[in-house]
Amino acid sequence: MSAMPQPPVRRERLENGLTVVVASRPGVPLAAVRLLVRAGSSLDPAGRFGLAHLVAAAVRRGTRSRSGARVDAEVEALGAELGAGVDEDAASIGLTAPLEHLPRLLAVLADVATRPAFPAAEVAKLRAREVAALAHDLDEPGVVADRATIMAAYGAHPYGHPSEGRGKHLAAVRRADLLAFHARHWRPSRATLLVVGPVDAEATLDLVRRHLGGWRGAAGGEVEIVPPAPQPSGVVLVDRPDLTQVQLRIAAPGFARGAGDHAAGVVAGAVLGGGFTSRLMEAIRVERGLSYGVRARFASGRSGGLFFVSSFTKVESAGELARVALDELHRFREGGPTEEELGRVRGFLGGLYPLSLETHEAWAEKLAEVELYGLPQDEVATFLARVGAVDAEACRAVARRYLPGERRVVVAVGPAKALRPQLEPLGPVRVLKAQAVM
Amino acid sequence: MTRPATPAARVIDLDAVRASTLPNGLRLRVLREAGSPTVSYATFFQVGSRNERPGTTGISHLFEHMMFNGAAKYGPKEFDRVLEARGGHSNAYTSNDLTVYYEDFAASALATVVDLESDRMRSLRIDDGALEQEREVVKEERRLRTDNSVFGLMEEQLESLVFQAHPYRWPVIGWMDDIQRISRADCEAFFRSAYAPSNAAVYVVGDVEPEAVERLVGEAYGDIPAGPPPAPVPAGEPEQRGERRAEIRFPAQAPALLMGWRAPAARDADTAALDLAQVCLATGESSRLRRTLVHGSGLAVSINASFGWRIDPGVFMIFAELAPGARPARVEAAVAAELGRLAARGPSAAELRRARALLRSAVLHELGTHHGLAHALGQAEGLLGDWREAGRQLEHYAAVSAADVRRVVARWLAPERRSVVTLVPEGGR
CB B65, CB B135: distance < 8 Å: no
**Chain A residues inside the 8 Å CB shell of B287:** 76
**What pLDDT shows up at residue A275?**
80
- pLDDT average, residue stretch B186-197: 96
- pLDDT average, residue stretch B52-59: 97
Which run of H or of E encompasses B40?
Answer: strand B38-45
Q: Map B161-222 to HEC letters.
A: HHCCCCHHHCCCCCCHHHHHHCCHHHHHHHHHHHCCHHHEEEEEEECCCHHHHHHHHHHHHC
- Of the pLDDT bands very low, low, confident and very high (cuts 50, 70, 90), residue B11 is low
- Count of CB pairs separated by less than 8 Å, A with B: 211
CB A321, CB A248: distance < 8 Å: yes
Q: How far is A283 from chain B (nearest CA, A)?
A: 12
**Chain B residues inside the 8 Å CB shell of A290:** 136, 140
For residue B381, with 0-12 CB atoms within 10 Å meaning exposed, 13-18 middle and 19 or more buried, which class applies?
buried
**What pLDDT shows up at residue B5?**
39
Test B298 with A80 for CB contact under 8 angstroms: no
Strand locations in A46-190 (E): 83-86, 91-98
Q: Beta strands A30-37 and A191-197: pairing type?
A: antiparallel
**Chain A residues inside the 8 Å CB shell of B61:** none
Closest CB to B253 among A77, A139, A286:
A139
A341 reaches B (C-beta below 8 A): no
> What is the average pLDDT score of chain A?
95
CB A329, CB A405: distance < 8 Å: yes
- Of the pLDDT bands very low, low, confident and very high (cuts 50, 70, 90), residue A276 is confident
Residues 143-202 on A with a CB inside 8 Å of B are none
Q: Which residue of A has its CA nearest to B78?
A: A277
Test B80 with A129 for CB contact under 8 angstroms: no
Does residue A350 register a pLDDT over 80?
Answer: yes
- Give the separation between CA B31 and CA B18, rounded to whole angstroms: 7
**Chain B residues inside the 8 Å CB shell of A244:** 143, 147-148
Q: Which residue of A has its CA nearest to B320?
A: A136
Residues 221-280 on A with a CB inside 8 Å of B are 239-245, 275-277
In one-letter notation, the amino acid at residue B403 is A
Q: Which 3 state secondary structure label does DSSP give A187? A: coil
Test A77 with B353 for CB contact under 8 angstroms: yes
Q: Where on the phi/psi map is residue A62: left (φ > 0), alpha (ψ -120 to 50), or beta?
A: left
Phi, psi of B294 (to 5 degrees): -95, -55
Closest CB to B140 among A132, A312, A352:
A312
- Give the separation between CA A422 and CA A319, rounded to whole angstroms: 5
Q: Which residue of B has its CA nearest to A243?
A: B148
CB A39, CB A186: distance < 8 Å: yes
Q: How far is A78 from chain B (nearest CA, A)?
A: 6
**CA-based Rg of chain A, rounded to a whole angstrom?**
23
Q: How far is B87 from chain A (nearest CA, A)?
A: 4
CB B39, CB B388: distance < 8 Å: no
- Cβ neighbors of A339 (< 8 A, separation 6 or more) are A392
A343 reaches B (C-beta below 8 A): yes
Q: Is the dihedral of CA B8, B12, B16, B17 positive or negative?
A: negative
- Give the separation between CA A334 and CA A337, rounded to whole angstroms: 10
Closest CB to B140 among A5, A28, A245:
A245
Tens of pLDDT along A48-79? Answer: 999 999 999 999 999 999 999 999 999 999 99
**CA-based Rg of chain B, rounded to a whole angstrom?**
23
Does residue A81 register a pLDDT over 70?
Answer: yes
- Of the pLDDT bands very low, low, confident and very high (cuts 50, 70, 90), residue B3 is very low
Of A178, A189, A156, A311, the closest CA to residue A247 belongs to A311
Closest CB to A132 among B77, B106, B254:
B254
CB A22, CB A9: distance < 8 Å: yes
Q: Give the number of other Cβ atoms within 10 Å of residue B234's Cβ.
A: 11
**What pLDDT shows up at residue B235?**
87
Half-sphere exposure in the Cβ direction for B204 (13 Å, CA) = 28
Q: Kindly state the percentage of chain A with pLDDT values over 70.
A: 99
**What pLDDT shows up at residue B384?**
97
In one-letter notation, the amino acid at residue A208 is V
Tens of pLDDT along A324-333? Answer: 999 999 999 9
- Give the separation between CA A276 and CA B84, rounded to whole angstroms: 9
Q: How far is A136 from chain B (nearest CA, A)?
A: 6
- Give the separation between CA B66 and CA B126, rounded to whole angstroms: 7
- Of the pLDDT bands very low, low, confident and very high (cuts 50, 70, 90), residue A89 is very high
Test B253 with A352 for CB contact under 8 angstroms: no
A79 reaches B (C-beta below 8 A): yes
Closest CB to A289 among B38, B87, B137:
B137
- Give the separation between CA A141 and CA A287, rounded to whole angstroms: 25
- pLDDT average, residue stretch B48-70: 96
Tens of pLDDT along A92-143? Answer: 999 999 999 999 999 999 999 999 999 999 999 999 999 999 999 999 999 9
Q: How far is B25 from chain A (nearest CA, A)?
A: 31
Q: Beta strands A409-414 and A234-239: pairing type?
A: parallel
A316 reaches B (C-beta below 8 A): no
Test A292 with B144 for CB contact under 8 angstroms: yes
Question: In DSSP terms, which residues pair with A20 in a beta bridge?
Answer: A12, A193
Give the DSSP per-residue string, B333-347: HHHHHHHHHHHHH--
CB B155, CB B189: distance < 8 Å: no
Does residue A309 register a pLDDT over 90?
Answer: yes
**Chain B residues inside the 8 Å CB shell of A80:** 361
Of A192, A144, A140, A147, the closest CA to residue A49 belongs to A147
**What pLDDT shows up at residue B1?**
32
Closest CB to B36 among A277, A354, A434:
A354
Test B140 with A313 for CB contact under 8 angstroms: yes
**Chain B residues inside the 8 Å CB shell of A81:** 283-285, 358
A129 reaches B (C-beta below 8 A): yes
Tens of pLDDT along B368-399? Answer: 899 999 999 999 999 999 999 998 999 999 99
Could you say which DSSP state residue B367 is in? T
Test B371 with A3 for CB contact under 8 angstroms: no
Question: A237, A348, A349: which to substitute to probe chain B, counting the most B Cβ within 10 Å?
Answer: A348
Phi, psi of B319 (to 5 degrees): -120, 130
Each residue of A130-168: b (16+ CB within 10 Å) or e? Answer: bbbbbbbbbbbbbbbbbbbbbbbbbeebbbbbbbbbbbe
- Of the pLDDT bands very low, low, confident and very high (cuts 50, 70, 90), residue A379 is very high
Test B38 with A355 for CB contact under 8 angstroms: yes
Strand locations in A301-419 (E): 305-314, 409-414
**Chain B residues inside the 8 Å CB shell of A279:** none
Test B77 with A433 for CB contact under 8 angstroms: no
Q: Which residue of A has its CA nearest to B359?
A: A79
C-alpha to C-alpha distances, B350 to A73, A117, A363, B406, nearest whole angstrom: 10, 27, 33, 15
Could you say which DSSP state residue B34 is in? -
In one-letter notation, the amino acid at residue A214 is G
**What pLDDT shows up at residue B7?**
35
Q: Which residue of B has its CA nearest to A138?
A: B253
**Chain A residues inside the 8 Å CB shell of B429:** 239-242, 433-434
First to last CA, chain B: 54
Closest CB to B369 among A140, A312, A359:
A359
**What pLDDT shows up at residue A223?**
80
Q: How far is A14 from chain B (nearest CA, A)?
A: 30
Phi, psi of A296 (to 5 degrees): -150, 135
Question: In DSSP terms, which residues pair with B44 in a beta bridge?
Answer: B100, B201
Does residue A2 register a pLDDT over 90?
Answer: no
Closest CB to A4 among B37, B360, B427:
B37
Q: Where on the phi/psi map is residue A197: left (φ > 0), alpha (ψ -120 to 50), or beta?
A: left
Tens of pLDDT along A284-293? Answer: 999 999 999 9
Length of chain B: 429
Q: How far is B130 from chain A (nearest CA, A)?
A: 9
Strand locations in B61-143 (E): 88-94, 99-106
Residues 4-43 on A with a CB inside 8 Å of B are 4-5, 26-30
Closest CB to B80 among A82, A138, A275:
A275
Length of chain A: 438
Tens of pLDDT along A252-273? Answer: 999 999 999 999 999 999 999 9
Could you say which DSSP state residue B71 is in? B
